[in-house]
Structure 1
Amino acid sequence: MSTAPVEPGAGPGEYSVADPERALKYAVQHTKGDRAEIIEGVIDFMPPTWDHEAAAEVIRDQIKPRAKEPGCVTGLGNLDLPKSSNWYVPDIAVVPRELAKGGGALLPDQTLLIVEVTSESDAETDPVVKRKRYAEYGAPLYLLVDRVEETVTLFSGPGRLGYTRAEGPHPFGAALRLPEPFGIVLDTSEL
């Protein structure tokens, strides 16, 4: 069992955190039950609703067969954003199989695609905060399924100030092409 980071020299019964980022990320990794992530320093417990999961499944079912071909896996594993108070659990991430075997969190730039599906509770988080952070940390493709606005947008060309390209927003029902290594056209009519 690992222990939480404690500042050297803390006396018996004293708990002093030497590195707040590390302590916060330790705490979120050791919560039981619901998926938990840290968004700009706030721990967010996010039990998905069935309508949210149904939308994610529409995308996952189309991506999964194509992701297997270049040796990738799809899932909702942890993504660490070092030197920030952020620890994300995207609705879908596509990562190389060899990286998925390590057991720890990955970095956004180690993904091939990240998909976030908005809910009423995170209607501003996914399209604004996470979009900026995923770009800043080098996630090559970010697909935003905005259930509030009923649109899909594919962001690419990550950089420190955000994504440089956006394909969309397109209304639900429109076809959206994912570039290689996927090379598929997503059907969004069931979202």
Structure 2
Amino acid sequence: MTVMAERELQSAQMSVEEFERIAESAARETDDTVRFEFINGRIGVKKVPDGDHNSIVLWLMQQCMQARPDLDLYQGQGLKVERYRAGRVRPDAVLVPRRHFAGHGEWADPNGAFLVLEATSHDSDTDRRNRQEKPVAYGAAGIPFYLLVDRDDCTVTLFSDPDPGLGYRNAHKEAFGAKLLIPQPLGIALDTEELKQYVD
């Protein structure tokens, strides 16, 4: 996809059904080298994660499995964030009860999800997408926690207390290396020291 075509797609207003057709078609043509999201009425192009990005997801998976073996961490599962302009997002990871997404299609209802993870990428719209739009979208969808691993400023931010109109009421930020407690209903203490290895 050319830069010009990407810009046209991002500025175009379309229905969710049109977006899903475009995303499905593009996924076949690009051989999964990019992923598509539909946030705030426009298409976003999300690069396929690099090794450090994937290592962040594995870091969270290992800590969650040790603390809560009754949960699964899904990568690449699309979510419908209907309350936020009928959006479609593809978080880096989604923490849910075991086998929660079995039988779901490409875009699942976020009901039952405990936490979504996003790690910033080195692309031009990571600020708008991960720091501005996604907290609103995930909070409006009622997902209890949004964990943002920000590789630009070496911090983790836990957004909590979702609100349908605001996104999240609370945001707690810590530098890489700190301990971060995800409160109940998860009750997981994350050791973020390892994240220092995944900064370029």
Do both proteins adopt the same fold according to a TM-score greater than 0.5, normalized to the shorter chain? yes
| RMSD, matched Cα | 2.0
Query: Partner letter of residue 168 of structure 2?
Result: Y
Paired residue for 2:20? 25
Write the deviation string for residues 16-65 of structure 1: whole angstroms up to 9, x where unpaired: xxx72211123214423235132331141421111211222222211133
Q: How many residues align?
A: 170
Structure 2 distance, partners of 1:35, 1:61, is 26
What secondary structure is seen at the aligned counterpart in 1 of 2:186? Answer: coil
Residue 128 (structure 1) aligns with: 132
Which structure has greater strand proportion?
A: 2
> Structure 1 residues 98, 47: closer, same or farther in 2, change over 3 A?
closer
1:163 matches 2:168: yes
SS of 2:177 mapped into structure 1? coil
Task: Tell whether the 8 Å contact from 2:72 to 2:99 is kept in structure 1 after alignment.
Answer: no
TM-score by length of 2: 0.76
- Distance (Å, rounded) in 2 between the aligned partners of 1:59 and 1:101: 21
1:88 counterpart = 2:89: yes
Q: Distance in 1 between matches of 2:36 and 2:98?
A: 23
Which has the higher Rg, Structure 1 or Structure 2?
Answer: 1
Give the 3-state SS of the residue equivalent to 1:173 in structure 2.
coil
**How many Å apart are 1:85 and its aligned residue?**
5.2
Are the counterparts in 2 of residues 34 and 45 from structure 1 also a CA contact under 8 Å?
A: no
Distance, in Å, in 1 between the alignment partners of 2:116 and 2:100 is 15
Contact 1:67 1:94 in 2 (8 A): no
- Rounded Cα–Cα distance in structure 1 between residues aligned with 2:79 and 2:102: 14
> Structure 1's 183 and 68: CA in aligned 2 closer, same or farther, altered over 3 A?
same
Percent of aligned positions that are identical: 31
Structure 1 residues not aligned, in runs of 5+: 1-18
